[in-house]
C-alpha cells in the first residue's frame, strides 16, 4: 500500500516531535525548515528533505505548518514559491501556529483565491506532550478539511475541539484565550508563592499542597512545579513567544472592544523578563519576574 504523503513545515520545539510521530505512524513525510540544520534529525529517521520550500508539498496534497509567528507563516504560505502555489487547486494547508485571528482570515482568503484549502488548527500542549502524541487540536474551517486532516493529526493528538466553519479564525481566538488563561494562572502562582516565601514559608511546600488539593489540574501542577523550583530552563515555550501571544490577545481584544487589564499586566511582566535577558527562559519565568519585584530573585543572590 502506498503511504500517504504529508509535508511538514517548521521543526522547532513543537514541530519536530509532531513530525517524528507522523513518521512513526507510517506517513511519507517531507520536511522543510528555514534553518536547514534542523531537518537532518528527521531525515535520519526516514523523512525526505525539501531543498526548497515548494518541494515540501505535492500538488493537491496536504501540508502542516508549525511556525513561530504571523510573519513567518505569511511568508511560507504566500511568498514566492510558497505553499498556496505548491499545493495547487485541491491541496490543503493545516496551519497549527498561534497567530492573530485577522492573519488567519487573511490567509484563508488568499488560499481560497488559489482554490487551496486552509484549516486553522492550533494545538495545546508542550513539547513533551507533542512527543507522546498527546496534543489537543483546536480547529475551525470547512468540515471536509477536518475530515481529511483528522487521520494525519491523530498521529500526535489525543483530542480535537471543533469550533465550526462560520469563522475560520475561531480556533485562533480560542488558542489565544487559552494561552492568556495559562499565563494568568502562572501570575497567580508566582504572586502567591512570593507572598509565602517573604514570610518564611517554603514555596515548594505551598505548591505541593495547592496542586494536590484546590488546584489539582495539569496547568497548575506542571507550571506550579517550575515556578516553585525556579526551574525555567530548558524552555518548553519561551518568554519571548509568550510575550508575542499575549500581545496578540491584547490586540484582538482591542479590536473586539474587550478590556483585558490582566493581559496588560502579563505583557509588562513578560516584557520586563525579556528586557532583563530572560527571553529564552520558559514563560513560567513570570514567577522569576515576580520574585525580582519582591526582592527575592534567585539569579541575584
Place of cell 489537543: 136
Q: What is the CA radius of gyration of the chain?
A: 20
Handedness of CA 155, 12, 68, 10 (dihedral sign): negative
Alpha carbon distances (Å) from 149 to 11, 46, 130, 164, 186? 19, 21, 17, 15, 33
Q: Which of these, 29, 36, 33, 38, lies nearest to 61 by C-alpha position?
A: 29
Are the C-beta atoms of residues 275 and 264 closer than 8 Å to each other? Answer: no
Q: Active-site residue 281, yes or no?
A: no
- Residue 192 in grid coordinates: 502567591
Phi and psi at residue 36, in whole multiples of 5°?
A: -60, -30
CA atoms within 13 A on the CB side of 244: 17
Secondary structure element (H or E) that encloses residue 112, with its range: helix 101-113
Q: Does residue 165 contact residue 143 with C-beta atoms inside 8 Å?
A: yes
Dihedrals phi, psi of 49, to nearest 5 degrees: -100, 120
Catalytic entry in 58, 134, 146, 175: 175
DSSP type of residue 301: -
Contact 94, 123 (CB under 8 A): no
138 has which bridge partners? 161
Left if phi > 0, otherwise alpha if psi is -120 to 50, otherwise beta: which for 125?
A: left
Q: Which residues are catalytic?
A: 175
Amino acid at each position: 500500500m502506498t503511504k500517504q504523503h504529508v509535508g511538514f513545515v517548521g521543526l522547532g520545539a513543537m514541530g519536530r516531535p509532531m513530525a517524528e510521530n507522523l513518521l512513526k505512524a507510517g506517513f511519507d513525510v517531507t520536511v522543510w525548515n528555514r534553518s536547514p540544520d534542523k531537518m537532518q534529525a528527521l531525515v535520519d529517521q526516514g523523512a525526505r528533505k525539501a531543498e526548497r520550500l515548494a518541494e515540501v508539498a505535492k500538488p493537491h496534497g496536504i501540508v502542516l505548518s508549525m511556525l513561530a509567528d504571523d510573519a513567518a507563516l505569511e511568508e511560507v504560505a504566500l511568498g514566492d514559491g510558497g505553499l498556496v502555489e505548491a499545493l495547487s487547486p485541491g491541496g490543503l494547508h493545516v496551519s497549527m501556529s498561534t497567530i492573530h485571528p485577522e492573519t488567519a482570515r487573511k490567509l484563508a482568503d488568499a488560499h481560497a483565491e488559489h482554490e487551496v484549502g486552509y484549516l486553522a488548527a492550533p494545538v495545546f500542549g508542550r513539547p513533551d506532550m507533542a512527543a507522546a502524541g498527546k496534543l489537543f487540536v483546536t480547529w475551525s474551517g470547512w468540515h471536509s478539511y477536518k475530515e481529511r486532516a483528522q487521520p494525519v493529526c491523530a498521529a500526535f493528538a489525543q483530542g480535537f475541539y471543533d469550533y465550526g466553519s462560520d469563522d475560520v479564525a475561531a480556533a485562533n481566538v480560542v488558542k489565544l484565550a487559552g494561552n492568556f488563561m495559562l499565563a494568568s494562572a502562572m501570575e497567580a502562582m508566582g504572586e502567591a508563592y512570593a507572598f509565602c516565601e517573604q514570610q518564611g514559608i517554603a514555596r515548594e511546600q505551598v505548591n505541593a499542597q495547592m496542586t494536590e488539593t484546590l488546584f489539582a489540574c495539569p496547568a497548575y501542577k506542571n507550571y506550579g512545579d517550575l515556578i516553585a523550583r525556579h526551574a525555567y530552563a530548558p524552555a518548553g515555550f519561551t518568554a519571548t513567544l509568550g510575550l508575542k501571544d499575549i500581545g496578540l490577545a491584547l490586540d484582538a481584544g482591542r479590536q473586539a472592544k474587550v478590556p483585558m487589564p490582566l493581559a496588560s499586566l502579563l505583557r509588562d511582566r513578560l516584557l520586563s523578563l525579556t528586557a532583563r535577558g530572560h527571553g529564552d527562559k520558559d514563560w513560567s519565568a513570570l514567577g522569576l519576574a515576580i520574585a525580582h519585584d519582591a526582592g527575592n530573585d534567585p539569579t541575584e543572590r
